[in-house]
Amino acid sequence: LILSIIASSVWANEVVPVSRTKLALSKRNGDVKEYLEDLKEGSLNAELSEDSSVDNDQTDLSKNEIDIKPNVGDGRDLERWLFSDWLNNNKSAGKGGRKKEPALPILKKAKWNSGDNPVLVTAALMMVGILIASVTERVGTAGPL
């Protein structure tokens, strides 16, 4: 029990903040920024080729206003869908991204309470698996009807 408390404290207070800082720096000036720009360019090129009637001046102005869509057909649709929050994040409009609905309605103020939190999703999947295993065990040991 004590080891679990220490491990979770180190995880929450040391590992996660350092990793988030590294990711934020990489999103601003590093490999993650280049990766996201590649994904965005593929979607923008497909979007702009569909609407070829727009002149170049309007194209440059509207690049930041176009929502990045995952279904471009260049083989990177899954990646674009997974990173759609980051690709469509328009901080210049004064918004810090879209507001996500809480995954657990009873904990609306918790920062970690979203459906894309991997720890929350894993815990929910484990609970569903435990519930299914419990029900099938009960049904299996009930005997013949």
pLDDT tens digits for range 101-139: 666 677 777 766 666 667 777 888 999 999 999 999 998
Residue 108: φ, ψ to 5°? -70, -25
Indicate the SS3 state at residue 96: coil
Q: What Å distances lie between residue 129 and 99, 122, 124, 138, CA to CA?
A: 30, 10, 9, 14
Residue 35: φ, ψ to 5°? -60, -45
Residues in CB range of 80: below 8 A, 6 or more apart: 39, 42, 43, 68, 69, 70, 72, 87
- Please report, rounded to a whole number, the percentage of residues in the chain having pLDDT higher than 70: 61
Give the mean pLDDT of the chain: 76
pLDDT value for 119 = 76
pLDDT value for 133 = 96
The mean per-residue pLDDT over the stretch 49-58 comes to: 53
The mean per-residue pLDDT over the stretch 80-99 comes to: 65
- Asked whether the whole model's pTM tops 0.95, one would answer no
pLDDT value for 115 = 64
